[in-house]
Amino acid sequence: MAERRNELGWSRSRAGAFDACPRRYWFIYYGARDWWLSPPDSRTREIHILKNLATRFMWIGSVVHESIENVLRRMQSGERPDATAVAEAALERMRTDFRDSRAGKHRERPGKACGLFEHEYAIPVSDQRWREGAEHAKACLANFFRSPYPETFAGLGPESWLPIETLDSFDLGGDRIHVKLDAAFRRPDGRVEIVDWKTGRRDRGGEGGDRVQLACYALYALEKGWVDRPEEIVTVEYGLAGMTSHVREVDPRAIAEVREYIGVSIGGMKALLDDVEQNVATEGRFPTQASADNCRQCNFRRVCPDAPRTRGH
């Protein structure tokens, strides 16, 4: 496989990783570069394996999101998927993922087989907790089908569908900005509605949610020409656990603020690079936001030389 250029771009998840710990950010976006060219026992390959780990909570969220994505794509083709069958397919996938992770198959097939953080680091989780996770995923999917959205999407004409879970990008001041919307559609009144599914047990939408992420989605809609003005966009955080809906109308101030935020954020990332043009990054230039709690929950604690060592971990 030929070497590929590692281009600098910005996304909300990338900014979150950088803000939480620049060293973790380096591991995710630079540490495993061209890992397939490295020996099987190399640190680079190990970083790639660890990069692809998911905590059980992230895993549950991914299963739910991908299940809903599949439902919406089928609906776009005119199908009406059965809620019970969708939930059973998700649970069967979780059973397979769990077995693969526990057997260490993510080390045999990095990035292909599921690898769970708890298995990789031998963190005790009771069978009851694992069952609760599966039940939570099942409940989130059931609540999706109880929500207004299946009927809303079923009633859309072909011209009203907008991207579903599609990784896309746009240019902002010469920088590439990456987004991946959960769902978006054009309402009968001509406004665009952008929906962000939330799978956490706690509803954070009332506390502000991730306004940066939602504003970035709105900026994307404007850059793509879906609408002419921010006021024509509505963002929705839909909490699947409690069927809560937080609806916000976008105003020009939010767009201006997210533009400024992105500029400052990507400027901080560039400041630590050896070579901005070639996007070259040296591990030692990215400091560790080290603390026992943060590092204990980090995928890369095994390979990070600056992570604090705690008993039992």
Q: How confident is the model at residue 111 (pLDDT cuts 50, 70, 90)?
A: confident
The mean pLDDT of 52-70, rounded to a whole number, is 97
Q: How confident is the model at residue 114 (pLDDT cuts 50, 70, 90)?
A: very high
Asked whether residue 174 is assigned to any structural domain, the reply reads yes
Q: Where would I find the H helices in 124-246?
A: 127-146, 149-154, 211-223
Residue 226 near residue 187 (C-beta atoms within 8 A): no
The per-residue b/e assignment along 58-77, b for 16 or more CB within 10 angstroms, e otherwise, is ebbbebbbebbbbbbeebee
278: how many CB neighbours lie within 10 A of its CB? 12
* Tokens at 297, concatenated: 């929950």
Q: Domain total for the chain?
A: 2
One domain for residues 129 and 29: yes
Q: How confident is the model at residue 100 (pLDDT cuts 50, 70, 90)?
A: very high
One domain for residues 19 and 142: yes
Predicted confidence (pLDDT) at residue 313 exceeds the cutoff of 70: no
Asked whether residue 307 is assigned to any structural domain, the reply reads no
Q: Provide the domain limits for residue 132.
A: 14-152+282-296
One domain for residues 136 and 45: yes
Give the contacts of 297 (CB within 8 A, at least 6 positions apart): 55
One domain for residues 27 and 147: yes
One domain for residues 35 and 141: yes
pLDDT digits (tens, 9 = 90+) for 207-236: 555 789 999 999 999 999 999 999 999 999
CA dist 71 and 73 (Å) reads 6
The mean pLDDT of 186-192, rounded to a whole number, is 96
The mean pLDDT of 268-283, rounded to a whole number, is 96
Give the contacts of 28 (CB within 8 A, at least 6 positions apart): 14, 17, 51
One domain for residues 146 and 186: no
